[in-house]
Amino acid sequence: MKNNTPEEDEDMVDVYTLTDDETGEEHQFELLAEADIDDAHYLALAPIDEEDSEEEEYVILRTEEENGETVLYTVDDDETFDKVAEFFDDLFFNEVDCD
């Protein structure tokens, strides 16, 4: 997926419009969190259109600077993806045990 540009929503939420490389269809995503893991920067993005999204669903993309622009890439390496997903899952879904 390609990043067109981050946009600022009226509620000051970072919104990214991503274009599907295969279909050319555009989708909007809200930035949930970002993290630096193993010398790379990752974003966790949730679909804004509730029809396309399931509860607790988000995508993980790696960022790179190219020619002064931020470009987003899918994480193809399974080991890296699992490590980054575990970090974000802990951040989003970690339940506190009060016992």
**Predicted structure pTM score:** 0.75
Whether the pLDDT of residue 5 is over 70: the answer is no
Is 39 within a domain? yes
Is 99 within a domain? no
What does residue 63 show for φ and ψ, rounded to 5 degrees?
A: -105, 150
Write the pLDDT tens digit of every residue in 21-35: 899 999 999 999 999
Q: Which range of residues forms the domain containing residue 58? A: 2-93
Is 89 within a domain? yes
State how far the alpha carbon of 20 is from the alpha carbons of 1, 2, 17, 42, in Å. Answer: 5, 7, 10, 19
Is 37 within a domain? yes
Is 77 within a domain? yes
Is 27 within a domain? yes
Is 98 within a domain? no
Write the pLDDT tens digit of every residue in 45-89: 999 875 644 566 899 999 999 999 999 999 999 999 999 999 999
Number of domains in the chain: 1
Predicted pLDDT at 28: 92
- As a whole number of angstroms, the distance between CA 55 and CA 57 comes to 6
